[in-house]
Chain A
Amino acid sequence: MTISLTKEKLYKLQSLIALLVLCTAISLLSDKFLTLANGWNVLRQISVNICISVGMTLIVLTAGIDLSVGSVLALAGAVAAGLLKNGIALEGLNLFVGFTLLGALLAGLLVGGLLGWLNGWVVTQCKVPPFVATLAMLTMARGFTMLWTKGFPISNLGANFDYLGTGWLLGVPVPVWISAWVVGIAWLLTSKTPLGRYIYAIGGNESAARLSGINIHRAKRIVYTIGGVLAALGGLMVTARLDSAQPNAGTGYELDAIAAVVIGGTSLSGGRGSIWGTVLGAIIIGVLNNGLVLLNVSPFWQQVVKGLVILLAVMIDRMNAKND
Chain B
Amino acid sequence: MTLSARHITKKFAGVTALDGVCLDLQAGKVNAIIGENGAGKSTLMKILSGVYTDYEGSILLHNREVRFNHTKDAEQQGIVIIHQELNLIPYLSISENIFLGKEIRNKWGLLDSQQMQRKTTELLAKLRLSLDPTMLVKDLKVGQQQLIEIAKALLVEAQVIIMDEPTSAITGAEVAVLFEIIADLKAEGKAIAYISHKLDELFQIADTFTVLRDGKSIESGSMQGITKDQIVSKMVGRALVTFPKKALPETPQVLLAVRNLGIHLPAARAKDSVQNISFNLHKGEVLGIFGLMGAGRTEMFEALFGLAPRKISGEVYIEGKRLHIHSPADAVKAGLALVSEDRKKDGILPELSVKQNICITTLPQLSQNGLLSSSKEEALVQQYIQELRIKTHSSAQLIKNLSGGNQQKAIIAKWLATKPKILLLDEPTRGIDINAKTEIYKLINQLAEQGLGIIMVSSELPEIFAVSDRVLVLSDGRLTGDFPISQASEESLLKAAIS
Give A residues with C-beta under 8 Å from B. 1, 188, 192-194, 197-198, 200-201, 204-205, 207-215, 271-272
Q: Which residue of A lies closest to B394 (CB)?
A: A1
- Taking the closest CB of chain B, its distance from the CB of A83, in whole angstroms, is 32
Q: Is B347 an interface residue (CB 8 A)?
A: yes
Q: If the complex has contacts A194-B364, A207-B346, are A214 and B329 also in contact, measured as CB distance less than 8 A?
A: yes
Which 3 pairs across A and B sit closest by C-beta, in order of nearness?
A213-B332, A194-B363, A204-B351
Q: If the complex has contacts A1-B393, A213-B418, are A194 and B352 also in contact, measured as CB distance less than 8 A?
A: no
Give the dominant DSSP class at B's interface.
mixed
With the chains together, A211 CA to B337 CA distance in Å? 9
With the chains together, A213 CA to B350 CA distance in Å? 17
Q: Is B383 an interface residue (CB 8 A)?
A: no
Q: List 9 A-B contacts (CB under 8 A).
A: A194-B366, A200-B349, A204-B350, A211-B328, A211-B340, A213-B331, A215-B327, A271-B349, A272-B351
Interface positions, chain B 361-377, Cβ under 8 Å from A, are 361, 363-364, 366-367, 370-372
> Interface centre among A194, A201, A208, by most B CB within 10 Å?
A208
With the chains together, A197 CA to B359 CA distance in Å? 10
Q: Are A214 and B360 in contact (CB under 8 A)?
A: yes
With the chains together, A212 CA to B340 CA distance in Å? 10
Residues on the A chain within 8 Å of B371, using CB: 188, 192-193
Q: What is the total number of residues of chain B having a CB less than 8 Å from a CB of chain A?
A: 32
Q: If the complex has contacts A207-B346, A211-B346, are A271 and B367 also in contact, measured as CB distance less than 8 A?
A: no
Q: Are B367 and A193 in contact (CB under 8 A)?
A: yes
With the chains together, A188 CA to B371 CA distance in Å? 8
The residue that B349 contacts in the complex, of A1, A194, A204, A213, with Cβ under 8 A, is: A204
Residues on the A chain within 8 Å of B345, using CB: 205, 207-208
With the chains together, A209 CA to B338 CA distance in Å? 12
Residues on the B chain within 8 Å of A194, using CB: 363-364, 366-367, 372
Question: Per-residue CB proximity of B160-186 to A under 8 Å, as 1/0?
Answer: 000000000000000000000000000
With the chains together, A188 CA to B372 CA distance in Å? 10
Question: Per-residue CB proximity of B376-404 to A under 8 Å, as 1/0?
Answer: 00000000000000000100000000000
Residues on the A chain within 8 Å of B349, using CB: 200-201, 204-205, 208-209, 271
Q: Is B414 an interface residue (CB 8 A)?
A: yes
Q: Is B356 an interface residue (CB 8 A)?
A: yes
Q: How many CB-defined contacts (below 8 Å) exist between A and B?
A: 75
Q: If the complex has contacts A192-B371, A193-B370, A201-B360, are A211 and B351 also in contact, measured as CB distance less than 8 A?
A: no
The residue that B372 contacts in the complex, of A193, A209, A213, with Cβ under 8 A, is: A193
Q: Is B99 an interface residue (CB 8 A)?
A: no
Residues on the B chain within 8 Å of A201, using CB: 349, 352, 356, 360
Q: Are A208 and B331 in contact (CB under 8 A)?
A: no
Q: Are B367 and A208 in contact (CB under 8 A)?
A: no
Q: Are B367 and A215 in contact (CB under 8 A)?
A: no
With the chains together, A194 CA to B366 CA distance in Å? 9
Residues on the B chain within 8 Å of A207, using CB: 345-346
Residues on the B chain within 8 Å of A272, using CB: 351
Q: Are B351 and A271 in contact (CB under 8 A)?
A: yes
Q: Is B348 an interface residue (CB 8 A)?
A: yes
With the chains together, A188 CA to B370 CA distance in Å? 10
Give B residues with C-beta under 8 Å from A. 305, 307, 327-329, 331-333, 338, 340, 345-352, 356, 359-361, 363-364, 366-367, 370-372, 393, 414, 418
Residues on the A chain within 8 Å of B359, using CB: 197
- Taking the closest CB of chain A, its distance from the CB of B22, in whole angstroms, is 34
Residues on the B chain within 8 Å of A192, using CB: 371-372
Q: If the complex has contacts A201-B352, A208-B347, are A213 and B370 also in contact, measured as CB distance less than 8 A?
A: no
Residues on the A chain within 8 Å of B352, using CB: 197, 200-201, 204
Residues on the A chain within 8 Å of B370, using CB: 193
Residues on the A chain within 8 Å of B331, using CB: 213
With the chains together, A294 CA to B162 CA distance in Å? 66
Residues on the B chain within 8 Å of A212, using CB: 328, 332, 360-361, 414
Residues on the B chain within 8 Å of A1, using CB: 393
With the chains together, A85 CA to B135 CA distance in Å? 64
Q: Are A200 and B351 in contact (CB under 8 A)?
A: yes
Q: If the complex has contacts A1-B393, A205-B349, A212-B414, are A197 and B360 also in contact, measured as CB distance less than 8 A?
A: yes
- Taking the closest CB of chain B, its distance from the CB of A147, in whole angstroms, is 39
- Taking the closest CB of chain A, its distance from the CB of B91, in whole angstroms, is 18
With the chains together, A212 CA to B327 CA distance in Å? 11
- Taking the closest CB of chain A, its distance from the CB of B332, in whole angstroms, is 3
- Taking the closest CB of chain B, its distance from the CB of A110, in whole angstroms, is 23
Q: If the complex has contacts A211-B305, A214-B329, A215-B327, are A197 and B356 also in contact, measured as CB distance less than 8 A?
A: yes
- Taking the closest CB of chain B, its distance from the CB of A163, in whole angstroms, is 31
Residues on the B chain within 8 Å of A215, using CB: 327, 329
With the chains together, A271 CA to B399 CA distance in Å? 14
- Taking the closest CB of chain A, its distance from the CB of B372, in whole angstroms, is 5
- Taking the closest CB of chain B, its distance from the CB of A210, in whole angstroms, is 6
Known: A188-B371, A205-B350, A211-B305. 16 other contacts (CB 8 A): A192-B371, A193-B371, A197-B359, A198-B363, A200-B351, A200-B352, A207-B346, A208-B346, A208-B347, A209-B360, A211-B307, A211-B338, A212-B414, A213-B328, A215-B327, A271-B349
Residues on the A chain within 8 Å of B366, using CB: 194
- Taking the closest CB of chain A, its distance from the CB of B328, in whole angstroms, is 5
Q: Which residue of A lies closest to B343 (CB)?
A: A208
With the chains together, A185 CA to B245 CA distance in Å? 55
Q: If the complex has contacts A194-B372, A205-B349, are A213 and B356 also in contact, measured as CB distance less than 8 A?
A: no
With the chains together, A205 CA to B399 CA distance in Å? 13
Residues on the A chain within 8 Å of B305, using CB: 211
Q: Are A197 and B346 in contact (CB under 8 A)?
A: no
- Taking the closest CB of chain B, its distance from the CB of A17, in whole angstroms, is 23
- Taking the closest CB of chain B, its distance from the CB of A223, in whole angstroms, is 16
With the chains together, A209 CA to B348 CA distance in Å? 9
Residues on the A chain within 8 Å of B364, using CB: 194
